C-alpha cells in the first residue's frame, strides 16, 4: 500500500512531534508499505503565517484520480489535516492551541484583535469541516495522541475521536538502575512546562531533596536565577540539552521523576519514566500525564501547588521501598496498555466502511 504521511514543521525545531513523525514513518515501512512524507513549513509568527500555511494545505487536493499515487493519507498536525484526499485518516497531535484552549491566556492569542479573531473563526470552521467528515476529502476517521486532545476536539468542534497511544523514541532502551538521591526533571525549559513549581516545591521541602533539570529553552536563565534566590544552588543542577545516552542514564538512576506541565497534550516524559520503572509526580491540571499516572499506585497526582508537590516528594524520599514499588507498578501499567507502533499502524490503516457525507463540494 502507498501511504502518505502529512504534517508541518518549524525549521530548526526537532522535538516530540518530529520524533512521532519519524517513528510513524519507520513503523509504516516496517509493516511493508511504501511511505510518502509530505511536510509544509509552519511559523508561529507573525500571526498571519498560520493563515498562509492553512491556504497552502487547503490547496493540496488529492481527490482526482482516487488520490493519485497515494492510497491512504494520514494527517497529523494543523493545518496539514486540511489536505484533501479520498481516504484521509487523521491522527491528531493537537489543534492550533493559540486559537483554542490557550485563546485569551498569556500563552495564546488575546481576544479583541480583528486579525486574530477573524483567523480564529476561520481555523475553527476549517477544522470542523476537515476533521468532521462533512465532505469528500475530509477525514474518514479521527484519532488523537491522547484523551486530552479528544476532549478539546469534543468541546470546541463537537467531533468525536479516539485516543491512540504510541511509544516514545527508542522506547526499548529505557532501563532501571539503582536509584540515586535525586528527582529527574526533563523537559523544555518553557513557561507551560512549569519547572518553577518544582523549584518552589524543593524550597518548601523539610528535607534537602536534590533535583536534576535537563533541557534547554527560553526560561533557563530565569529558572537558574530563581534557584539561586530560593537558596537551592547546592541542591539543583541544570544540565541543559543532553545526549540520548545521558538522558537514559539520568532516568535509570533517578529516585523519581517530576513532570507538571499545564494541560500537556501527551507527554513523553511520563512514558519514559514508566519505562524506566520510576514513579511520576504530576499535577491535576497537567493533561496527558493523568492518563497514565495513577495516584498512589504509579506516582502522585497533586494540586499545582508547591506545598502539595513538596509533600509528595517527601513521601518518596522517606520510603525507598514505596518509591521502588510505585516505579515497578508504572512499568507494569505501561506494558498492559498495548502502547506499540504495530497497534498504531494497524489501527490507522484498517479498512473502513464507505463514507456518507452530509454535504458535498466540487473538487478543484
Of 41, 62, 61, nearest to 52 by C-alpha is 41
CA angle 145, 40, 157 (to 5 degrees): 45
* 239 CB-near residues (< 8 Å, 6+ apart): 212, 213, 214, 246, 250
Q: Taking the domains of the chain in order of start, what are their residue ranges?
A: 2-167+341-348, 171-336
Q: What angle do helix axes 114-131 and 48-58 make, rounded to 10 degrees? A: 30
CATH superfamily, region 171-336: Glycogen Phosphorylase B; (3.40.50.2000)
Q: How confident is the model at residue 359 (pLDDT cuts 50, 70, 90)?
A: low
Span 254-283, average pLDDT? 96
Contact criterion met (CB below 8 Å) for 188 and 216 = yes
What pLDDT band is residue 79 in, cutting at 50, 70 and 90? very high
Indicate the range of 63-67, 192-196, 246-250 predicted with least confidence. Answer: 63-67
Q: How far is CA 150 from CA 90, 102, 252, 266, 333, in A?
A: 12, 16, 32, 11, 21
pLDDT at 52 exceeding the cut of 70: yes
pLDDT, mean of residues 40-62 = 86
In tens, the pLDDT along 288-332 reads 999 999 999 999 999 999 999 999 999 999 999 999 999 999 999
Contact between residue 189 and residue 195 where contact means Cβ atoms under 8 Å apart: yes
The mean pLDDT of 35-40, rounded to a whole number, is 92
Q: pTM (2 decimals)?
A: 0.86
Q: What angle do CA 317, 319, 323 make, to 5 degrees?
A: 80
Query: Residue 358 has what pLDDT?
Result: 62
Residue 363 — very low, low, confident or very high, per pLDDT cuts 50/70/90? very low
Task: Give the percent of the chain with pLDDT over 70.
Answer: 97
**pLDDT tens figures, 330-344:** 999 999 999 999 999
**38, three cell numbers:** 509530505
Distances (CA, A) of 356 to 159, 231, 266, 359: 16, 63, 32, 9
CA dist., res. 337 & res. 344, Å (int): 12
Strand blocks (E) in 150-291: 162-163, 183-186, 211-214, 236-240, 256-258, 280-283
pLDDT tens-digit series, residues 95-114? 998 888 888 888 888 888 88
What pLDDT sits at residue 362? 39
Average pLDDT in the 343-364 region? 76
Numbers of helices and strands, H then E, in the chain = 11, 12
Q: Which residue, 23, 53, 55, is CA-closest to 37?
A: 23
Q: For residue 46, report the phi and psi dihedrals to the nearest 5 degrees.
A: -70, 170
CA neighbor of 150 nearest in space, from 94, 231, 78, 214: 94
Q: Examine the pLDDT at 66 and tell me if it is beyond 90.
A: no
Find out if CATH 3.40.50 is the number for domain 2-167+341-348: yes
pLDDT over 70 at 120, yes or no: yes
Outline where 31-87 has alpha helix (H): 48-58
Q: Which pLDDT tens digit goes with each residue over 156-182? A: 999 999 999 999 988 999 999 999 999
Amino acid at each position: 500500500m502507498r501511504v502518505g504521511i502529512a504534517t508541518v514543521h518549524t525549521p530548526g525545531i526537532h522535538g516530540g512531534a518530529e520524533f512521532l513523525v519519524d517513528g510513524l514513518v519507520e513503523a509504516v515501512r516496517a509493516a511493508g508499505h511504501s511511505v510518502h512524507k509530505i511536510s509544509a513549513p509552519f511559523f508561529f509568527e507573525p500571526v498571519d503565517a498560520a493563515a498562509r500555511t492553512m491556504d497552502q494545505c487547503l490547496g493540496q487536493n488529492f481527490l482526482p484520480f482516487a488520490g493519485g499515487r497515494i492510497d491512504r493519507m494520514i494527517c497529523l498536525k494543523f493545518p496539514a489535516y486540511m489536505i484533501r484526499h479520498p481516504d484521509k485518516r487523521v491522527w491528531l497531535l493537537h489543534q492550533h492551541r493559540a486559537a483554542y484552549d490557550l485563546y485569551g491566556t498569556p500563552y495564546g492569542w488575546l481576544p479583541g484583535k480583528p486579525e486574530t479573531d477573524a483567523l480564529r473563526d476561520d481555523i475553527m470552521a476549517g477544522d470542523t469541516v476537515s476533521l468532521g467528515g462533512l465532505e469528500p476529502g475530509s477525514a474518514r476517521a479521527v484519532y488523537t495522541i491522547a484523551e486530552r486532545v479528544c476532549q478539546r476536539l469534543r468541546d470546541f468542534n463537537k467531533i468525536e475521536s479516539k485516543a491512540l497511544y504510541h511509544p516514545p523514541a527508542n522506547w526499548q532502551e529505557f532501563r532501571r538502575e539503582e536509584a540515586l538521591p535525586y528527582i529527574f526533571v526533563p523537559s523544555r525549559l518553557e513557561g507551560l512546562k512549569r519547572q518553577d513549581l518544582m523549584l518552589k516545591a524543593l524550597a518548601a521541602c523539610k528535607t534537602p531533596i536534590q533535583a536534576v533539570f535537563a533541557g534547554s529553552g527560553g526560561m533557563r536563565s530565569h529558572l537558574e536565577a530563581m534557584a539561586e534566590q530560593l537558596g537551592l544552588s547546592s541542591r539543583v543542577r541544570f544540565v541543559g540539552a543532553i545526549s540520548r545516552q545521558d538522558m537514559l542514564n539520568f532516568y535509570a538512576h533517578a529516585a523519581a521523576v517530576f513532570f507538571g506541565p499545564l494541560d500537556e497534550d501527551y507527554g513523553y516524559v511520563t512514558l519514559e519514566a514508566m519505562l524506566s520503572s520510576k514513579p511520576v509526580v504530576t499535577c491535576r491540571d497537567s493533561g496527558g500525564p493523568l492518563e497514565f499516572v495513577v495516584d498512589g499506585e504509579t506516582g502522585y497526582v497533586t494540586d499545582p501547588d508547591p506545598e502539595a508537590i513538596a509533600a509528595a516528594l517527601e513521601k518518596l524520599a522517606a520510603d525507598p521501598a514505596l518509591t521502588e514499588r510505585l516505579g515497578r507498578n508504572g512499568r507494569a501499567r505501561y506494558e498492559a496498555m498495548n502502547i506499540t507502533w504495530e497497534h498504531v499502524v494497524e489501527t490507522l490503516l484498517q479498512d473502513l466502511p464507505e463514507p456518507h457525507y452530509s454535504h458535498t463540494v466540487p473538487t478543484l
